[in-house]
Chain A
Amino acid sequence: MGASGLEAVFLANRDALLRFLRAHGAGDAAEDLLNELWLRLREAPPGPVAKPLAYLYRAANNLMLDRYRSESRAAARERHWAEATGATHPGQSDAPSGEREIIARQQLAQTQAALAALGLRVERVFWRHRIDGVPQRQLAEEFGVSLSTIESDLRKAVGVLIEVRKKLD
């Protein structure tokens, strides 16, 4: 299906996509966000898409994640700014980059160790899925386990990443 076909599917499912954005917490911004989605599609139309509606939902989902990302970055910047000017943690925001790099390296090492502790299969399943982008059904065949085992492996891996991340914050 070409780009114009995708636009037709977009228009036919406008209300459904709007509901999806609202469920994501878009609130009053839902209409604007849907327009943004429309512009993104027109400016950079994808190649042929096998499942146009699923493609649109994914694009909408990504849009909401991008929005969340930029909002939380802005919030973090404000927090750092307040801390720096309030001098409660003098120098925190401009720690020497070498030192920050060492801390980042330690955090990565912790993350890698935590993933490794989950066992060889979980770590490899996670890597194949998230780095190599192999679909879960294909991984089930590759590793000779059920799809629900793959899902449970991935849940463990993501659970550990989120845990490590919370500790770091």
Chain B
Amino acid sequence: MNKKDIIICRCEDITLADIHECLEMGYETFEDLKRILRVGMGPCQSQNCAHLIQTEIANYLKINREDVKLQKTRPLITGVVLKDIAKAKEQEDE
């Protein structure tokens, strides 16, 4: 199958070809790839792509998958509407 047709990150529409191109340019960590390609920045926060990309980095660097660091996990765990947060804060202050 053509690498350009294999979607790795569904949030940002990033293909296997995009990942390989970046690796070859010298971006060899998840954090680097994230900043250049936006993988892990979408609504799923890399829940779908993390392990796929980890495998690609490991294969490219010829190291064990568990030695490839994943991206830093940041809040929130899931998307929350801003206005709901504001409402909860107002109720809490009353």
Do A and B come together as binding partners? no
